[in-house]
Amino acid sequence: MADNIIMPQLGESIAEGTIVKWLKNPGDQVKKDENILLISTDKVEAEIPSPSTGVLLNIAVGPGQTVAVGTVLGQVGAANEVSQKVSLTTPPPSLPELHVNKAEPVAVPVAAPPQKSGDMSSFFSPLVRRIAHEHGIKEQELASIDGSGRGGRVSKNDILSYLATRTSVPKTAIPSLQAEISDSDREIKKPVSTMRRVIMENMMASRATSAHVTTFFEIDYTAIDKVRAAYKDQFKQDEQVSLTYTTFLAAAVCQVLKRHPYINASLTKESISFKKDIHLGMAVAIENPEPGLMVPVIKNADKQNLRGLAHAINDLSSRVRARKIKPDELSGGTFTITNPGNYGAIIGTPIINQPQVAILGVGHIKKQAIVLEVDGTDVIAIRKIGLLGLSFDHRLVDGATADIFMADLKRTLETWTSAP
């Protein structure tokens, strides 16, 4: 019985992907979990593993083609299996993330053989093509750029390096946002990218779906600051990552979510799903190829200690910005943390990441003079203070439920004593 190779879900908001390159030819032997093709979207580029050990029987979708999530890309099976035509009809969108469907022995009219490594210089990823379009680089000029990627393929760095030394730019080029606007051109018009269009649609869909309400709590981080001060240098030396406030927040959220199932849930018109596992989404801002936001997910975050969470946060955020994140690391979250405080924001009112029912916004943490009562006397003290804002879906989460969760989170953070 052959295994279908299916276009996976490249994040919860992505509906299609582009075949960059097949790493194997029909008839080649493959092992289970061995990478056999490279796919790309505006958000992520990832290698897809073989669903089983056997032979690559056929290829249904060739390099350069863009197809919907759930599309059959090819098949792996025994060398003696007989092939029939594979339908490229997209299955319903309820397929799991890395879809591997068992199928009767089938095959496709074999697509054009995948490009050999020496031919890859003639293939350009969607990202490279978009940069070329924005700067008025035609196909012939693009093909003249020396590529440093696999098989001579032109990478983003290659085209950016080329642009830095390019002496003439056609007048038809769309100017970069970083370029100065001349006196005669007082605005720049730029096509809406696929990534931005997806963000736009998701934000509007979330606002239309959930009844958004936000509650705010003031947090005294003094207890956590004492732990950080005692261990951050040793932690940095031993673990090679920083012991950040975000790490403590992630750990505290995981503890508290276990006690508040209505916050770690999802909702449809027919049912409420209470999640036993805590898969923590961590919003990461990106700048290239344009400003945007991605939400990688720490799976089973509640099973990790501070050290594990620190490494997971550092690893995922680094690979998101390097566009090396894996498809299944962008989906499946049950609760999300976003930290506009990193940029100095006092607080924000984040939009819920569907189908979740709540998201935590973290405000800027700074020293403040506050009034404390000590032995019945009011005194002024300097404390590390910041705001947290919980946006929640009022269809499921009542105000009291949200405030009880936040009070528990506040108490957990303000009484922290354990070392990393």
| Distance in angstroms (rounded) separating the CA atoms of residues 313 and 244 | 10
pLDDT of 240 higher than 80: yes
- Which residues are CB-neighbours of 271 under 8 A, at least 6 positions away? none
Structure confidence by residue, pLDDT tens digits, 197-230: 878 888 898 999 999 999 999 999 999 999 999 9
DSSP code, position 397: S
Among the residue ranges 94-98, 193-197, 234-238, the one predicted with the least confidence is: 94-98
Structure confidence by residue, pLDDT tens digits, 12-58: 556 778 888 899 999 999 998 888 998 876 556 678 889 999 999 99
pLDDT per position as a tens digit, 287-303: 876 788 889 999 999 99
Sign of CA dihedral 32, 35, 39, 41: positive
**To 5 degrees, how large is the angle CA 242–CA 311–CA 355?**
115
**pLDDT the model gives residue 113:** 40
Pairwise CA distance, residues 129 & 135, whole Å: 10
**Cis peptide bond N-terminal to 355, omega within 30:** yes
Q: Which residue is catalytic, options 146, 185, 277, 398? A: 398
pLDDT over 80 at 384, yes or no = yes
d(CA 170, CA 136): 6
Percent of the chain with pLDDT over 90: 46
Please state, in angstroms and rounded to a whole number, the distance separating the CA atoms of residues 137 and 285: 28
Cα-based angle 262, 267, 272 (whole degrees, multiple of 5): 65
The residues pairing with 35 across neighbouring beta strands, listed in sequence order, are: 49
398 is annotated as an active-site residue: yes
Token pair of 271 as six digits: 């049912």
Contact indicator for 169, 135 with CB cutoff of 8 Å: yes
Question: Strand, coil or helix: what is 140?
Answer: helix
99 catalytic residue (yes or no) = no
Which domains, ranges and CATH numbers included, belong to the chain? 2-103 (2.40.50.100), 196-414 (3.30.559.10)
User: In angstroms, rounded to a whole number, what is the distance separating the alpha carbons of residues 394 and 392?
Assistant: 6
Residue 167: its pLDDT value, please? 42
Q: Please state the rounded mean pLDDT for residues 273-279.
A: 96
Helices and strands of the chain, counted as H and E runs: 8, 20
Give the model's pLDDT for residue 419: 78
pTM over 0.85: no
- Catalytic-role residue among 133, 364, 394, 408: 394
The separation between the first and the last C-alpha atoms of the chain, rounded to the nearest angstrom, is 50
- Report the distance separating Cα 327 and Cα 16, nearest Å: 12
Question: What are 115's strand-pairing partners?
Answer: none
